[in-house]
Amino acid sequence: MPKSRRLITFDYALKRLLRSKVNFEVLEGLLSELLMTDVKIVEILESESNKEDPLDKYNRVDMKVKDSQGELILIELQYEREYDYLQRLVYAISKTITEHLKEGDAYSKVPKVISISILYFDLGQGNDYIYHGTTSFKGLHTNDELLLSEGQKGLFRHNTVQDIFPELYLIKVNRFDEVARNTLDEWIYFLKTGDIREGFTARGLDKAKEVLDILKLPEAERRAYERYQEDLHFQASMVESTWGAGMLEGIQIGRQEGRQDGIQIGERNTLLRLLTRRFGDLPAEVHAKVNAAEMDTLESWIDQVLDAHSLNDVLR
């Protein structure tokens, strides 16, 4: 039999326990290991997950942190697949910058933002489990890198162009092979398995053992955690049942309608219904392309809808 879980899940900890100042040490440990510098949290700022939106409170958790250097760190934990997740990161970073630039401030006051995504789905194509993105400028003719002048270094309080622009870290937890080669891997091991092994020395994990121990939770907090876990299971079942059954039903109904009213018309209606359910409102050119397609093409497109990432993947 599998052993019972001793530590609460990290998503719940982000929502409830780690927002308390007495528990900052846990997050400081994770951030220090990832950023390879000593991070001290000053405060937890208002973020989307502070607002208990019933439509969004289970599949993702986010937190906004201000460190002792005045930099803003966005931490997001995401379970469900989002094909436009990278674009949403761009939006979130842009929004954070504008929210924290006071009216009338010079652009030199634009805050540095570090975005950290803890992902439980495979985003994009790549074999690594941690990706780091920065911005740099290369000469088209000389291939040299654009550097800051000494005056700019003093004004911006940063030494490189990369230091000014947002940084992004993508941690693809499910890609991790559960072999802890260094202290950062010890954190990834915990994020994936919910377990902290004896002998782990990464910063913050000792505190995590203490803070996240289910048996040490107050009774009310333990009951709240149990309800949260039950809600997660229910949400996952509902999504799976609704999505899977709905897609199959759409195919069956559409094809039945096609046989009754004209097979080709039915296949077109089926495809349009599935595309709308999958990708939202369709532009006029998609309707035109579907209406002009032959039967074999329509059937091929219908079979591709479930696995497609975008409209272009279907209508090739």
- Please answer whether residues 131 and 79 qualify as being in contact, where contact means their C-beta atoms are separated by less than 8 angstroms: no
Question: Please, which residues have CB within 8 angstroms of residue 266's CB and are 6 or more apart in sequence?
Answer: 254, 255, 256, 257, 258, 259, 260
Q: Which residue has the tokens 């010890």?
A: 186
Whether 4 has a pLDDT exceeding 50, the answer reads: no
Dig out the tokens for 234 from the structure: 């229910």
76, with CB counted inside 10 A (0-12, 13-18, 19+), is buried
Measured on CA atoms in the order 151, 156, 159, 162, is the torsion positive or negative? negative
Residue 212 has a pLDDT of 86
Residue 49 has a pLDDT of 46
Whether 107 has a pLDDT exceeding 60, the answer reads: yes
Whether 122 has a pLDDT exceeding 60, the answer reads: yes
Residue 61 has a pLDDT of 67
* Confidence label for 183 from pLDDT (cuts 50, 70 and 90): very high
Q: Model pTM?
A: 0.68
Residue 56 has a pLDDT of 43
Lowest-confidence pick of 176-190, 192-206, 260-274: 260-274
Whether 239 has a pLDDT exceeding 90, the answer reads: no
Residue 52 has a pLDDT of 46
- Please answer whether residues 254 and 264 qualify as being in contact, where contact means their C-beta atoms are separated by less than 8 angstroms: no
Report the SS3 class of residue 131.
strand
**156 versus 217: which is more confidently predicted?**
156
Whether 57 has a pLDDT exceeding 50, the answer reads: no
* Confidence label for 47 from pLDDT (cuts 50, 70 and 90): low
Whether 253 has a pLDDT exceeding 80, the answer reads: no
Whether 285 has a pLDDT exceeding 60, the answer reads: yes
* Confidence label for 82 from pLDDT (cuts 50, 70 and 90): confident
Nearest to 226 by CA among 2, 8, 1, 4: 8
- Candidate ranges 30-34, 63-67, 256-260, 287-291; pick with highest mean pLDDT: 30-34
Cα distance between residue 177 and residue 294, in whole Å: 46
Residue 72 has a pLDDT of 85
What Cα–Cα distance (Å) separates residue 69 from each residue in 32, 42, 66, 72, 154?
13, 9, 8, 9, 15
* Confidence label for 203 from pLDDT (cuts 50, 70 and 90): very high
* Confidence label for 145 from pLDDT (cuts 50, 70 and 90): very high
Residue 225 has a pLDDT of 76
